[in-house]
Structure 1
Amino acid sequence: MSFNMYVPTRFVFGNGRLDELHQQKMPGKKAILAISNGKSVRENGVLDRTLEQLKKAGVHAAVFSGIGANPTKTEVMEGAKFARDNGCDFIVALGGGSVMDAAKAIAMMATNNGDLWDYVGGKTGKGQPLQRDPLPIVCITTTAGTGSEADQWGVVTNEETNEKIGVGGYDSTFPVLSIIDPELMVSVPPKFTAYQGFDVLFHATESYISTFASAMSDMYALTAIENVGKYLARAVKDGNDMEAREGMAFANTLSGVVMTVSVTTAEHSLEHAMSAYHPELPHGAGLIMISQAFHGFFIEKHACDDRFVRMAQALGMKDAEKPEDFLTALTKLQEVCGVADLKMSDYGITPDEFDKLAANAREAMGGLFAANPCEMTHEDCVEVFRKSYR
């Protein structure tokens, strides 16, 4: 048994616990409050509630609302300039995975010179070490999706080079505090509840079949999978089902923790290539599209049969006994959640792109291929796209 684990974030979990933000120790006095460029946190009152909580804590806040659904390098650099111009000494990320991911990169660039891609590995990134510690980060998650409130990584797209790459990875890019209040997730529409929920699931399944898995990561992964199997369909059907929202919020945080102990596989590399070229594609939707063919590849290779059986059981198929049962359980969950028939073509993806996408996945995030339970060649990746295409 061998693993490394470091999860320094203070989690404040439970319904209504946003109202306890002012009771927590703040890492500074002037915050850049990062939100998305959408309307939800303004319209549902969460932004005003957060500003009031920060005021009670003696913190002045400047709101930066320039973050899109797939955060870009340009947005990060604008956020970093905003933080410097306003003299901010920490960052509060209020939103879903995109906002939290961008916040980590903004925290890095608010204190370091140059361009974000100077500090990014993979393809055109220069891979330089940070010269100064990032701003401290506080996360208030409004979705059950990426687990970004629990880990040290974010994902950012360089729109000039069509690279979607993980950034951060430092001890100092872990959030110091994360508020996980399932009540903030009630307003997420069913479609996005499903997309985000499957992102949670695949963080856990990929980390479970990963070559970096251990007894410690297995514990988190299987519990996350069990909660997704039990609660995701309910949360999609009825967004006001608070037990289901709680279960998915819990699974989400666990899926973030598991990624700090284990490592996700190349399924994420392949999807990041898809949404790097087609940024309107939601990350979770892209993962759903390729999930059957991707996991099926390892089942056909008998790479880790017992693990697929165990995941099928965790998803709710208690009598599962063969690895193919995982695909059956996965299909059933996708059908119940109304996402079994997603089409790449609806987002402009065409078959003549498959070779380019497969190459981009390896060039931009090739490190995740080492986590695959058996070798996956360029041609294998192209075949995953081909089998997934509709």
Structure 2
Amino acid sequence: MAQTDNKNHQYRFSGHELVLHDVSADRVLPGLLVRLGYETVFIVCSRSINKNTAIVERITNCLGARVVGLTDKVGEHSPLGNILEAARAVRDSKADVIVSVGGGSVMDMCKAIQLCISENVYERSDLLKLQFTLSDDGTEMLTTSTAVPTIRQIAIPTTLSTSEWTPVSTPIDEQTSLKARFVVPYGAPVAIIYDPDILAQTPLRLLVSTGIRGLDHAINTACAASPHPFASLLAEQAIKLFMENLHLLGKSGNRQAYLNCQLAAWYTGMGQMSVAHGFSHWMVHIVGPYGGVPHSDASCVMMLAQAKWLEGWAVEQHGRICGMLGKEQSSFHEVLSELLSALGMPRYLQDLGLKPHQLEEMIEPALQHPMVTLNNLRPIRNETELRAILDLAWNVH
């Protein structure tokens, strides 16, 4: 049965100053820099965006001499080596703000760059000492950084995974294949620019999969072990927008679907830092690097497995969401399975190309991860229960 006595009385705002929605990034960015008092810019973007679109060229042209540096060396999951190299370049450029153009890996990289510069840390071992700690009750991630933040980022998201809404950065440590975990003071962007025409240039499958990642964040907020009423309200509206619009992306003349998905990311982001997320949010940090699959693809599978795991435990939450979607007669996991099938997204670990031995290799890192087994509405307390939920992600029957 659901735990109805766990209440969260704290709402956490991530520290943004401005969100610009339904705008053209290259038109508003020069004025935004003036408004925020920035003069010199270092651009961090993905290589695919830099090489395959005119987005970065348009932004550099509109900023002119304000641009003092650029890197597109951003690997999948933001490798620490790339972060440290870029941090030195940003430091040497003397830029006073970073403009990120890309998805979660790009924005996470910029947060870690901010941490390096503020702490004056440019070696792997020193950076890893700054990983977050947990509050005594295990529900809140606490920064270990004590330096005054010296640089911020302005984010131009090209995906829907909502990284622009958190100060958390989880880059991969190439030496261990594990995710590092940082909470960066003022790591959430000082401003976000939501340009739907830029979003529409992201390859459709990638965009949809990151939308599922954003949806998973919203579901974790709505079905949290310790929910917050404001965060739940926003999350439920985000779920509705995602589920009604993801299948419309890529359809001719459906610009509004891109706007609605960006609104869904906004609603999700405004609430997700105020509650502790559960299994599906964190297990992708194990599946991604160990299985060699993108976070967003892993989210599809973990999101569905978690919905099955919570059946009978999140009756009120699942019932409210299904009712909102006009699916009162369906279980929530059935609704999610139908969505994933319609979008052509993976539903099981086999769909990700994983083998049984890879799943076995993930058990111990998942148990050792500080968050995977915490803060779940239906508890995951030991290896037996972890294997039970992973079995739901593995079996096709």
* TM-score normalised by the chain length of structure 1: 0.88
Pair 1:268–1:311, CA change in 2 (3 A): same
Q: 1:155 to 1:116 in 2, by over 3 A?
A: same
Structure 1 residues 72 and 239 mapped into 2: Cα distance closer, same or farther (>3 Å)?
farther
For residue 296 of structure 2, give the secondary structure of its aligned residue in structure 1: helix
TM-superposed deviation, 1:306: 0.7
Q: What is the rounded CA distance, in whole Å, between the counterparts of 2:253 and 2:114 in structure 1?
A: 34
The alignment of Structure 1 onto Structure 2 pairs a total of residues equal to: 373
Q: Structure 1 residues 375 and 85, CA, compared in 2 at 3 Å: closer, same or farther?
A: same
Counterpart in 1 of 2:190? 176
Partner of residue 358, structure 1: 363
Structure-2-length-normalised TM-score:
0.87
Report whether the alignment pairs 1:245 with 2:258. Answer: yes
Query: Which AA in structure 1 matches 2:392?
Result: K
Structure 2 residue runs of 5 or longer lacking an equivalent are: 1-6, 135-141
User: Are 1:46 and 2:55 counterparts?
Assistant: yes
Give the % identical residues.
17
Matched, 1:118 2:129: yes
Separation of aligned partners in 1, 2:184 and 2:322: 31
Aligned position for 2:157: 141
Q: In structure 2, how many angstroms separate the alpha carbons of the residues matched to 1:328 and 1:310?
A: 15
Give yes or no for contact 1:196–1:284 (8 Å, CA) kept in 2.
Answer: yes
Is the Cα contact below 8 Å between 1:137 and 1:175 reproduced in 2? yes
Asked if the contact 1:54/1:61 (under 8 Å) is kept, the reply is no
Native 8 Å contact 2:298 2:352 kept in 1: no
The residue identity in structure 1 corresponding to 2:214 is V
Indicate conservation of the 8 Å contact 2:212/2:300, yes or no.
yes
Q: How much does 1:319 deviate?
A: 4.4
User: For the structure 1 residues 240 and 387, does the alpha-carbon distance in structure 2 shift closer, same or farther, using more than 3 Å as the test?
Assistant: same
Which residue of structure 2 lines up, in the alignment, with residue 206 of structure 1? 220
2:204 corresponding residue in structure 1: 190
How far apart, in 1, do the equivalents of 2:69 and 2:358 lie? 42
The one-letter code sitting in structure 2 at the alignment partner of 1:293 is: A
Q: Which sits farther off after the overlay, 100-109 or 249-258?
A: 249-258
Structure 1 residue 193: deviation in Å? 2.0
Matched, 1:11 2:19: yes
Query: Where do residues 302-313 of structure 1 align in structure 2 (5 Å cutoff)?
Result: 302-313=312-323
Query: How big is the shift at 1:83?
Result: 0.9
The answer to whether the 8 Å contact 1:153/1:173 transfers is yes
1:92 counterpart = 2:85: no
Aligned residue in 1 for 2:299 = 287
Q: CA deviation at 1:375?
A: 1.2
Matching residue's letter, 1:180? Y
Matched, 1:166 2:178: no
CA shift, 1:343, in A, is: 4.8
2:277 aligned to 260, 264, 273, which one? 264
Q: Aligned pair 1:329/2:329, yes or no?
A: no
One-letter amino acid of the counterpart of residue 163, structure 2: S
Whole-angstrom CA distance in 2 between matches of 1:174 and 1:101 = 9
- Name stretches of at least 5 consecutive residues in structure 1 with no aligned partner: none
Question: In structure 2, the residue corresponding to 1:160 is in which secondary structure?
Answer: coil
SS in 1 for 2:304: helix
SS class of match (1:230): helix
Structure 1 consecutive aligned stretches of length 4 or more whose deviation exceeds 4 Å: 340-343
Distance in 1 separating the partners of 2:230 and 2:166: 16
1:202 Cα offset (Å)? 0.3
Matched, 1:60 2:67: yes
2:111 pairs with 1:107: no
Aligned AA (1:14):
D
Partner of 2:29: 21
Instruction: Look up the SS of the partner of 2:387 in the other structure.
Output: helix
2:80/2:171 contact within 8 Å kept: yes
Asked if 2 retains the 8 angstrom alpha-carbon contact of 1:156 and 1:164, the reply is yes
Greater mean alpha carbon deviation, residues 378-387 or residues 215-224: 378-387
The 1-side partners of 2:347 and 2:12 are apart by 38
State the Cα distance separating 1:169 from its structure 2 match.
Answer: 4.6
Secondary structure of the residue aligned to 1:371 is: coil
CA distance in 1, matches of 2:91, 2:253: 40
Residues 134 and 303 of structure 1, relative CA distance in 2, 3 Å threshold: farther
